[in-house]
């Protein structure tokens, strides 16, 4: 279980790491007017082309470390809207803030969110977050309470800023759906595509290595992007990490992404694929996307069940799939 961090010095160092990680990928500082609670103020935000994200951070004495983020490149001196806040108390516990810092039993530190979204629009708040957010959830020892929190990312991971960007985009999508007056917008997606907001869990998972779990949606997104770069339609839904569609519009490959090679996790992933295939009249191929160091004996057992194995590795912050072209060759030529 995670445990909230209360120590002032540790929180300060974590805030410095949070800001430093974003500045490392920032391309510019842009003067803007930031909108907040019906008002606005002048600020200079850090902008990242790679993330399509801006960040403004400020220490508010005796209150919190204020981090506000938004999507889309601001026009100089233009007004920008806040997508979400990930604030940390100066010290102690403040359950009124959206963000917090937490440590797992091994000492790894995570940025977490309590689901408090703020803003003035009706229906945008903690209940929306709890009902709609899909990602990594964890239990956190929160002083004398236990709280379910969304894990934004592993603070010291080389992929933290990607995890952060994905979280912000998911929040923006939730807000957009809640603001839409068309109820079908939230449930009907006529076109096949990969949607970040559907990637991840809707509830607390079995305890696992949270650092690895924070990478799962990134791997699924990178896999979808790799398929699309080959001219193959890729999508996902609330129960499937990724799938590939052939030229006849049929789902021809189901993918399940694993970030852990523990026997129980691998077998659970294999079972999920086998059960999913039952509902398809024309049975799709089943592919487990796994870290590259899958033991050979386990790989042979999975192949005996009719599953194919797609190893992946990390090239910097990006998941790469050296064998993907061989896996999808049939789709590309059909």
Q: What is the DSSP string of 7-18?
A: -HHHHHHHHHHH
**Helix, strand or coil, per DSSP, at residue 220:** helix
Question: What is the rounded average pLDDT of the residues 225-243?
Answer: 94
**Is 50 exceeded by the pLDDT of residue 32?**
yes
Strand duo 53-60 + 64-71: pairing: antiparallel
What does the pLDDT read at residue 164? 98
What does the pLDDT read at residue 186? 42
d(CA 153, CA 319) in angstroms, rounded, equals 16
d(CA 19, CA 293) in angstroms, rounded, equals 33
Helix axes 296-304, 263-277, angle to 10 degrees: 20
**Helix, strand or coil, per DSSP, at residue 27:** coil
Instruction: Flag the least confident range among 34-48, 52-66, 185-199.
Output: 185-199
State both tokens at 291: 């870290």
What does the pLDDT read at residue 195? 74
Q: For residue 148, count CB atoms less than 10 angstroms from its CB and return exposed for 0-12, middle for 13-18, buried for 19 or more.
A: middle
d(CA 31, CA 75) in angstroms, rounded, equals 8
Partners of residue 257 on adjacent β-strands: 289
Task: Read off the pLDDT of residues 158-191 as tens digits, 9 standing for 90 and up.
Answer: 999 999 999 999 999 888 887 665 444 443 444 6
Domains annotated on the chain, with CATH:
2-186 (no CATH), 196-333 (3.40.1350)
d(CA 279, CA 269) in angstroms, rounded, equals 17
d(CA 307, CA 280) in angstroms, rounded, equals 16
Task: Read off the pLDDT of residues 111-142 as tens digits, 9 standing for 90 and up.
Answer: 999 988 765 555 566 788 888 889 999 999 99
Proportion of the chain in helix, strand, coil states, percent, rounded to 5: 30, 30, 35
Question: What is the rounded average pLDDT of the residues 230-255?
Answer: 93
Q: Is residue 35 very low, low, confident or very high in pLDDT (cuts 50, 70, 90)?
A: confident
What does the pLDDT read at residue 39? 76
d(CA 196, CA 256) in angstroms, rounded, equals 15
User: Which residue shows structure tokens 């002048």?
Assistant: 42
Supply the DSSP symbol for 206.
Answer: S
d(CA 180, CA 188) in angstroms, rounded, equals 13
Mean pLDDT of all residues belonging to the chain: 89
Question: What is the rounded average pLDDT of the residues 193-210?
Answer: 68
Q: For residue 278, count CB atoms less than 10 angstroms from its CB and return exposed for 0-12, middle for 13-18, buried for 19 or more.
A: exposed
**Is 50 exceeded by the pLDDT of residue 97?**
yes
d(CA 286, CA 243) in angstroms, rounded, equals 9
Query: Within 10 A of 124 (CB to CB), how many other CB atoms are there?
Result: 17
Instruction: Flag the least confident range among 21-25, 169-173, 329-333.
Output: 329-333
Please indicate whether residue 263 or residue 287 has the higher confidence score (pLDDT): 287
Please indicate whether residue 106 or residue 333 has the higher confidence score (pLDDT): 106
Residues above pLDDT 90, as percent of the chain? 71
Task: Read off the pLDDT of residues 270-306 as tens digits, 9 standing for 90 and up.
Answer: 999 999 999 998 899 999 999 998 999 999 999 999 9
Instruction: Flag the least confident range among 60-74, 205-219, 245-259, 266-280.
Output: 205-219
d(CA 21, CA 208) in angstroms, rounded, equals 25
């Amino acid at each position: 279980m995670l445990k909230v961090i209360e120590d002032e010095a540790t929180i300060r160092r974590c805030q410095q790491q949070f800001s430093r990680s974003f500045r490392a990928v920032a391309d510019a500082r842009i003067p803007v007017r930031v909108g907040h609670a019906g008002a606005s103020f002048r600020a200079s935000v850090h902008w990242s082309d790679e993330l399509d994200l801006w960040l403004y951070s400020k220490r508010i004495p005796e209150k919190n470390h204020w981090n506000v983020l938004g999507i889309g490149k601001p026009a100089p001196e233009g007004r920008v809207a806040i997508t979400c806040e990930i604030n940390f108390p100066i010290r102690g516990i403040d359950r009124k803030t959206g963000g917090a810092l937490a440590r797992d039993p091994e000492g790894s530190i995570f940025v977490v969110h309590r689901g408090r979204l703020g803003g003035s629009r009706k229906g945008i708040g903690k209940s929306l977050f709890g009902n709609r957010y899909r990602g990594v959830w964890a239990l956190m020892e929160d002083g004398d309470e236990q709280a379910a929190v969304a894990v934004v990312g592993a603070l010291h991971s080389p992929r933290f800023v990607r995890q952060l960007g994905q979280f912000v985009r998911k929040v923006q999508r939730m807000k957009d759906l809640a603001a839409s007056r068309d109820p079908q917008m939230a449930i009907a997606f006529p076109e096949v595509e990969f949607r970040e907001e559907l990637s991840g869990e809707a509830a607390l998972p079995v305890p696992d290595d949270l650092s690895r779990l924070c990478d799962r949606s990134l791997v699924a997104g990178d896999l979808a992007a790799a398929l699309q770069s080959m001219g193959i339609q890729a999508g996902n839904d609330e129960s499937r990490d990724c799938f590939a569609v052939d030229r006849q519009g049929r789902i021809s490959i189901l993918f399940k992404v694993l970030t852990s090679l523990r026997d129980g996790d691998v077998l659970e992933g294999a079972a999920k694929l086998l059960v999913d295939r039952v509902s398809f009249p024309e049975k799709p191929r089943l592919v487990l996307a796994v870290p590259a160091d899958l033991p050979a004996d386990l790989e042979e057992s999975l192949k005996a069940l009719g599953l194919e194995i797609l190893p992946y590795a990390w090239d910097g912050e990006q998941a790469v799939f050296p064998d993907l072209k061989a896996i999808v060759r049939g789709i590309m030529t059909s």
